[in-house]
Amino acid sequence: ATAWAARGEAIPCWLTAQADEFGGEIPIGPFALIGGDDIGKGIVSTLSGHRSPAVLMRNHGVFTIGRDARAAVKAAVMCEDVARTAHLARALGQPVPIAPADIDALYDRYQNVYGQRPSAH
């Protein structure tokens, strides 16, 4: 993922696992100097309007958020896997995009149906 951040490039959504977890591309945020609150501001502004729990900050690397530490770590691990696979796919040729409506359907199913426990009655 850091290699994508070094290129200043978002990771396009070419995999169903990415649609499930990130709801689309993994966005790229701006460059920010270490030491102030610019990195945090860049993360927040970039993730506004995205469903992704991960952001690639240009020339830094991946930052993730989650409802708890476990969810943020899961997003970080998945981001690294997606970044590697997307790189390999692009090295082999032009990856096939997933239609936006299909990304929405995959995200909704994974976030709201898949793995959910039935409510006790």
Q: What is the pLDDT along the chain (121 residues), one digit of tens a residue?
A: 999 999 999 999 999 999 999 999 999 999 999 998 999 999 999 999 899 999 999 999 999 999 999 999 999 999 999 999 999 999 999 999 999 999 999 999 999 987 666 555 5
Query: What are the structural domains of the chain?
Result: 2-112 (3.40.225.10)
Rounded CA gap, 52 and 103, in Å? 12
- Looking at residue 76, its amino acid is A
pTM of the complete model beyond 0.75: yes
Rounded CA gap, 15 and 44, in Å? 25
- Looking at residue 49, its amino acid is G
The pLDDT assigned to 117 comes to 62
- Take residue 17 and report the two structure tokens written for it: 């696992």
